[in-house]
């Protein structure tokens, strides 16, 4: 019996089962670095450390042996920084667009718990983190202890946001929609590119109204496109509905629009990300007549994430946007000029 147990003990040690360890990844600036909420694949929200393109990612990998006094044989310890895209219809195939590796220890033995430092300097993070209906783009650190049969690994996700500067060319949108001899509407939005906390300001002009319209709204629609060629998938999601009018308009009437974007969960526009997916946004003008017939006109807008966001009250944002739209460029008041970077 004692001989049998001794053989099992030696076999377990030979196959790497005699000692195991826990891995913990700790960022150097974990106490001061900002965290943001990000949607997970199951629709829930968790908080993750926030990084931007070009920022250094550094920290420590703590390896804690579970059984004191026993050695842990390994074939090397490493940490990776990975950026990857996963298409849900192609599970198992992870498309890596960033893959950096740092060796922390050569093959050998650990006789006690140990801490390893790591640093990925000025890491390129070209795309924004994204979790959609058919695709996920994620960044993560992965520490691995390589062993003969079963590696020990730990992953730590981070969130990356891409910041932009104010677009130099930002023309207004002017379009017409109508039905011959029945309806003629002109609508105008103050610009075509908006940051994620912006205000959409516009006007609707009724030039001809010979049908009984009972309701009008503007929808913000997110369109996610994945795949290429015959295997293209489109998913439309209505992010917001904004009622413009409830009742019948008359010829010559003008209706103003002010739609605040800050209250909605949106990402910047993402076009042809690593040739795998796109995320675009559209303003959809919808009219419904008394017979429940729907008339609509769609227009793409560009969304971008602003750096050093200026926080103002909602009314101040609307006033400034309206004044810009009317062509004036007022000097900010002392209250408006007070900035708090996000």
Query: Which of residues 280 and 254 earns the better pLDDT score?
Result: 280
Confidence of residue 293 (pLDDT cuts 50, 70, 90): confident
For residue 212, the model assigns a pLDDT of: 75
Query: Where a domain ends, among 112, 128, 160?
Result: 160
- Mean pLDDT for the chain overall: 82
Q: Residue 335: pLDDT above 50? A: no
Query: Where a domain ends, among 304, 319, 336?
Result: 304
In a domain, 7, yes or no: no
Query: Where a domain ends, among 160, 183, 210?
Result: 160
Pair 104, 192 in one domain:
no
Pair 230, 293 in one domain:
yes
In a domain, 339, yes or no: no
In a domain, 268, yes or no: yes
Pair 116, 37 in one domain:
yes
In a domain, 13, yes or no: no
- Cα–chain center distance at 164: 14
| Greatest Cα pair distance in the chain | 99
Of 260, 265, 111, 253, the closest CA to residue 198 belongs to: 260
Give the chain's domain count: 2
Angstrom distance (rounded) from CA 37 to CA 277 = 22
DSSP 3-state of 321: helix
CATH label of the domain that carries residue 58:
2.60.40.640
Q: Residue 289: pLDDT above 70? A: yes
In a domain, 147, yes or no: yes
**Per-residue pLDDT reduced to its tens digit, 145-162:** 999 889 999 999 999 999
Name the strand (E) or helix (H) holding 142. Answer: strand 135-145
Pair 31, 99 in one domain:
yes
Range of the domain at 45: 21-160
| Residues contacting 237, CB < 8 A, separation 6+ | 133, 221, 222, 223, 224
Q: What are phi and psi of 63, to 5 degrees?
A: -110, 115
Pair 149, 198 in one domain:
no
Pair 28, 123 in one domain:
yes
pTM equals: 0.79
């Amino acid at each position: 019996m004692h001989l049998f147990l001794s053989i099992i003990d030696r076999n377990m040690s030979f196959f790497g089962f005699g000692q195991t360890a826990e891995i913990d990844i700790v960022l150097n600036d974990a106490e001061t670095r900002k965290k943001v909420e990000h949607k997970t694949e199951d629709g829930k929200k968790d908080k993750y450390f926030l990084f931007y393109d070009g920022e250094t990612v550094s920290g420590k990998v703590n390896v804690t042996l579970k059984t004191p006094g026993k050695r842990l044989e390994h074939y090397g310890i490493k940490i990776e920084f990975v950026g990857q895209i996963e298409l849900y219809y192609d599970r198992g195939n992870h498309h890596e667009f960033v893959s950096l590796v740092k060796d922390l220890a050569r093959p050998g033995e650990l006789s006690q718990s140990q801490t390893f430092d790591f640093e990925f300097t000025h890491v390129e993070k070209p795309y924004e983190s994204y979790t959609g209906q058919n695709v996920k783009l994620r960044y993560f650190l992965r520490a691995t202890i390589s062993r003969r049969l079963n590696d020990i690994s730990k992953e730590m996700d981070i969130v990356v946001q891409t910041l932009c500067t104010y677009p130099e060319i930002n023309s207004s949108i002017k379009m017409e929609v109508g039905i011959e001899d029945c309806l003629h509407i002109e609508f105008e939005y103050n610009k075509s590119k908006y940051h994620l906390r912006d205000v959409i300001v516009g006007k609707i002009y009724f030039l001809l109204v010979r049908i009984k319209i009972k309701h009008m709204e503007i929808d913000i629609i997110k369109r996610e496109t994945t795949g290429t060629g015959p295997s293209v998938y489109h998913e439309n999601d209505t992010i917001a509905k904004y009622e413009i009018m409830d009742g019948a308009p008359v010829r010559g009437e003008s209706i103003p629009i002010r739609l605040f974007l800050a209250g909605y969960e949106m990402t910047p526009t993402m076009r042809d990300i690593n040739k795998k997916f796109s995320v675009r946004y559209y303003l959809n003008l919808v009219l419904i007549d008394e017979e429940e017939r729907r008339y609509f006109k769609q227009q793409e807008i560009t969304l971008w994430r602003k750096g050093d966001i200026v926080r103002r009250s909602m009314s101040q944002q609307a006033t400034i946007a309206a004044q810009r739209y009317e062509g004036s460029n007022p000097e900010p008041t002392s209250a408006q000029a007070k900035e708090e970077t996000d």
